[in-house]
Amino acid sequence: MAGSYTLITANRNYSSWSLRPWLLMKALGIPFEDRVEPFTKPVNWDEFRAFSPTGQVPVLLHGDRTIWNSLGIALYLAERHGGVWPQEEVAGAFAYSAVCEMHGGFSALRNQCLMNVGVRLEMPRMTRRWPRTSPA
């Protein structure tokens, strides 16, 4: 299918889900219209349903197709553009596993450690050394 892409995201400073397909498309040089739909209230589901079947972002529009979810977008782009996945079989298997683990897991970590790429923090210096463990 020929045609241009439109990527709809929210504020990528706060939404790693929105940042993922945007970074992928930028890194691979895939041209797209960049459309930002800001989070304007605690729940934007009704407004986002106008362009997203799930009421969430990110969403990729391609002709009459709507592709949602950052992993769904990556898989869709991989069918049309090289460079999304490693070509070497072992590296590809590792990449698939790592992506699925990150995408489907770590919900407690994501809920407790919110993302804000616009903030820089000074980390306190560690005063205690952790014991080294030898490889098993």
Percentage above 70 pLDDT, the chain: 76
Confidence at residue 88, expressed as pLDDT on a 0 to 100 scale: 95
Res 15: pLDDT: 77
Q: What is the pTM of this model?
A: 0.76
Contact predicate 58/68, CB 8 Å: yes
pLDDT in tens, 26-61: 999 999 999 998 877 778 778 888 889 988 899 999
Alpha helices in the chain (DSSP H): 16-28, 45-48, 70-78, 89-104, 107-112
Please list the ranges in the chain whose pLDDT falls under 70: 1-2, 106-123, 125-136
Q: What is the CATH number of domain 5-112?
A: 3.40.30.10
103, 70 Cβ separation under 8 angstroms: yes
